[in-house]
Each structure stands twice: as C-alpha cells, then as structure tokens.
Chain A
Amino acid sequence: AQTVTQSQPEMSVQEAETVTLSCTYDTSESDYYLFWYKQPPSRQMILVIRQEAYKQQNATENRFSVNFQKAAKSFSLKISDSQLGDAAMYFCAYRSAHGGATNKLIFGTGTLLAVQP
C-alpha cells in the first residue's frame, strides 16, 4: 500500500525568506501523481502544485517549486519570498496514475507553516 510521510509537523519562516517543506512517499508503482495542497484557516483545500512522475523536470508555479527525486521517493516544496498569506497547513498527496478501485488520493499528516513578519 502507498504511504505519504511529512516529518515536519510545524515550520516557521521570516517574511520574504525561503522555506522548504519535506515529503517522502512509498510506492511500488512507476506512474503516479504528486500534489501539494494548502489549507488556510478557512479550511478550504487549495492546490498549490502538481508533479507527474514521468516528468523529470521539476514543477514550478510562481513562488512555489518542487524538488522531485523519484529514486529517493522524495517530493519537497520550496516557497520563495514567503508572504504572510502563505501561512497555512500544507499537505503532500499521492495518487496512482492507474485506474480502478485502488486509484485513491492519499495524504500525509501535514506541515503547519507560520510566517513571521
């Protein structure tokens, strides 16, 4: 069974600085998708960034980028020029690329990010 692990329950960063959130996963599959979701105090889940496992190039979305290491099964999120609005819970998630009953979305336990002014 696939698992997702986030080893940092809480992180803190100064405004305008850079922070990296860690995520590792375990799977025997070769085709899958990885995601980072943000959950602000409103509790609305917001997609931050997505990575397809078959792509070697790391995904980037404005100030957010990932370091995807497929062999190491590592998927970290880097937030550059941190802003107060980035303060939230961040979840790493995995989804198989194969269809069928096993195609479920699996989440890590989350990292609570605080941004200090």
Chain B
Amino acid sequence: DGGITQSPKYLFRKEGQNVTLSCEQNLNHDAMYWYRQDPGQGLRLIYYSQIVNDFQKGDIAEGYSVSREKKESFPLTVTSAQKNPTAFYLCASSSRRTGTDTEAFFGQGTRLTVV
C-alpha cells in the first residue's frame, strides 16, 4: 500500500543531543514537508522540499536541519540549538502537479520529548 511512514512514534532526547526523525514515502511525490505542532496549536512549517537535493526554510527553521538525498526520504534533525524541541512532529508529502492529486498526505507523527 502507498503511504508515508514516520519513525519512531515516540522519541526521547537528552539535553544537548541531536536526534533525527525519519520520514519515508512511496507515493512518488516530489514535495515533502515537516511541521511542528504544539498542544492546542496549529501546524507550523519547519522545512519543505519540492525536489531532490533542494529544500527551503519554513517559518520556524532555527535549530532544525534536513536533507533530501532521495525522493522517498526527508529526514529531520533536531539539533541542540533548538531550545524547546518537545512537540509533535508531522511529515507530509504531496504531488507538485496541478489539477488532481493536490492534497498532502501525512504520516502518523513523532512525539519528541526532552528529558
């Protein structure tokens, strides 16, 4: 079945550590996104990528880094520079085509907690 997979579902990080969240899709989508969601809040865009080997900062990119070496994969690294990383992280992908097939598909999310 086609879909988008995030792992792990739960992640615990110690202060000062970098951690990487995985996002893989087999939908043949060009565009991929990372969002952060805090309790009772909307989705804030961290980074997005429209094509392999290219990505752009979103609204809250500070303290995060990404790579897009393969079309299927868009990992997010939460660095020690991110001062308040505890949040729910959602990955999404979408086609760049216009017309049909325009909606984004989401993974099940990763809950990151700093301990």
Q: How large is the interface on A (under 10, 10 to 19, 20 to 34, 35 or more residues)?
A: 20 to 34
Query: A72-84, CB under 8 A of B: which get 1 and which 0?
Result: 0000000000000
Main secondary structure of the interface of A (DSSP, over half): loop
B42 touches A50 (CB 8 A): no
Most buried by B among A33, A45, A110: A45
Secondary structure dominating the interface of B:
strand
Task: Please choose the segment from B15-23, B63-71, B76-84, B102-110 that sits at the chain A interface, where 4 or more of its residues have CB less than 8 A away.
Answer: B102-110
With both chains docked as a complex, state the minimum distance between the C-beta of B6 and any C-beta of chain A, in angstroms. 11
Residues of chain A with a CB closer than 8 A to B37's CB: 43
> Within 8 Å of chain B (Cβ to Cβ): is A16?
no
Residue ranges of B at the interface with A (Cβ–Cβ < 8 Å): 31, 33, 35, 37, 40-43, 45, 48, 50, 54, 56, 58, 88, 90, 92, 94, 96, 98, 102-104, 106, 108-109
5 A-B pairs in the complex with CB atoms less than 8 angstroms apart: A43-B108, A97-B98, A99-B98, A100-B50, A101-B54
